[in-house]
């Protein structure tokens, strides 16, 4: 066996067996059969049963394990912690009874972003892109004038004990900054059990929420046969959240869905608005149409406004982390050092 090494660093004879200068290997002045410590990987000729075969050592070692693409599910709390350890994320809690429109909103938001239909927000990234694809695929294609009876499927979690989160990184054109959102996609049954049984252990993450959306089926507040029951459940839900998150309950926004079926009456809005001060929470009301069967109501109406109003309120409520002043600031950096030595 004879090891062949070229003294020219650019030469690839060790890999190809061919001299770049078209010299014969035996006659090339740069070729050194004795130098086995050069930078090039040795080219080895082995004689096997009377034949000469070439064997080249691999340029890179084999990986310890094969690389994996991110899974297609929503993010679990461990994965959420990994994202939030790198940068600040706005966590928005999303609650609502079954068929209130929680998943429909998420699908609508994703489709609007993918088609660049939000005026002041641009899509930047998502750590759960395939989860968004999964929940929105039913709304992508359907026959003209014949929409499916249900645009999104019922939310089912892999682990019924913990929430699944969707991640969005958007560019806010008004504030000229990137903003990360974490949005849970929860089954409506979790809200039902919170109202009926005060079962809240699966919703502990709401204590870290910057904002809470309660999705309300707007149709139920227009029908006299369901209006009182819908109002009573909403009142109980706000009461549960107020006690559960006291004394630091974040701002709550009641999101009236199905705007294409008609806006709620002023009387309904006033009664719902009064639930805020009655329960000691900050409360506002928005209306959206995630999808629309009314030609006069654009699909996605109110979605960007909901996102903007929530982000504005979050920015108002979130204190500056290190406020560089020594007066009237519990977290002021200067309070931890001597002003004379600063």
Residue of 82, 78, 145, 151 lying closest to 110 (CA atoms): 151
pLDDT at position 25, please? Answer: 67
* Mean pLDDT, rounded, for 38-54: 49
Q: Put residue 162 in one of left, alpha, beta given phi > 0 → left and psi -120 to 50 → alpha.
A: beta
pLDDT at position 174, please? Answer: 96
Instruction: Give dist(CA 108, CA 117) in Å, integer.
Output: 11
Q: Which of 25-34, 270-279, 327-336 has the lowest mean pLDDT?
A: 327-336
Looking at the DSSP bridge assignments, the partners of residue 125 are 169
Q: pLDDT-based confidence at 324, cuts 50/70/90?
A: low
Inform me whether the pLDDT recorded for 331 exceeds 60. no
**149-157: long-range contacts, CB 8 A cutoff, minimum separation 24:** 151/104, 151/107, 151/290, 151/291, 152/103, 152/104, 152/107, 153/103, 154/98, 154/103, 154/187, 155/102, 155/103, 155/185, 155/186, 155/187, 155/188, 156/187, 157/74, 157/186, 157/187
* Mean pLDDT, rounded, for 169-181: 96
Q: Sketch the domain layout of the chain as residue ranges.
A: 2-56, 77-317
More confident site: 27 or 175: 175
CATH 3.40.50.300, domain 77-317, yes or no: yes
pLDDT at position 153, please? Answer: 47
* Percentage, residues of the chain above pLDDT 90: 54
Tens digits of per-residue pLDDT, 225-270?
Answer: 999 999 999 999 999 999 999 999 999 999 999 999 999 999 999 9
């Amino acid at each position: 066996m004879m090891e062949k090494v070229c003294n020219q660093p650019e030469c690839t004879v060790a890999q190809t067996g061919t001299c770049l200068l078209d010299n014969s290997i035996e006659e090339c002045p740069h070729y050194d059969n004795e130098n086995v410590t050069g930078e090039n990987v040795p080219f080895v000729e082995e004689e096997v049963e009377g034949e000469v075969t070439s064997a080249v050592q691999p340029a890179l070692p084999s990986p310890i394990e094969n690389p994996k693409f991110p899974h297609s599910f929503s993010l679990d709390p461990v994965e959420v912690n990994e994202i939030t350890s790198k940068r600040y994320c706005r966590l928005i809690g999303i609650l609502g009874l079954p068929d209130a429109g929680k998943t429909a909103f998420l699908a609508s938001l994703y489709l609007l972003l993918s088609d660049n239909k939000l005026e002041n927000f641009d899509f930047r990234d998502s750590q759960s892109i395939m989860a968004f694809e999964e929940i929105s695929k039913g709304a992508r294609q359907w026959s003209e004038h014949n929409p499916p009876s249900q645009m999104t499927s019922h939310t089912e979690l892999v682990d019924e004990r913990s929430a699944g989160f969707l991640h969005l990184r958007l560019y806010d054109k008004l504030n000229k900054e990137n903003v990360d959102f974490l949005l849970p996609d929860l089954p409506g049954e979790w809200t039902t059990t919170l109202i009926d049984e005060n079962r809240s252990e699966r919703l502990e993450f709401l204590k870290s929420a910057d904002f809470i959306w309660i999705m309300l089926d707007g149709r139920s507040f227009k029908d006299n046969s369901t209006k009182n029951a819908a109002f009573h459940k909403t009142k109980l839900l706000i009461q549960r959240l107020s006690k559960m998150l006291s004394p630091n309950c974040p701002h709550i926004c009641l999101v009236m869905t199905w705007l294409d079926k008609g806006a709620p009456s002023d009387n309904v809005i006033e009664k719902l608005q009064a639930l805020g001060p009655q329960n000691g929470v900050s409360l506002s009301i928005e209306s959206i149409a995630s999808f629309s069967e009314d030609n006069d109501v654009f699909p996605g109406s109110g979605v960007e406004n909901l996102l903007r109003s929530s982000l504005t309120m979050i920015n108002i409520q979130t204190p500056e982390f290190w406020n560089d002043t020594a007066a009237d600031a519990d977290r002021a950096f200067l309070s931890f050092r001597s002003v004379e030595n600063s």
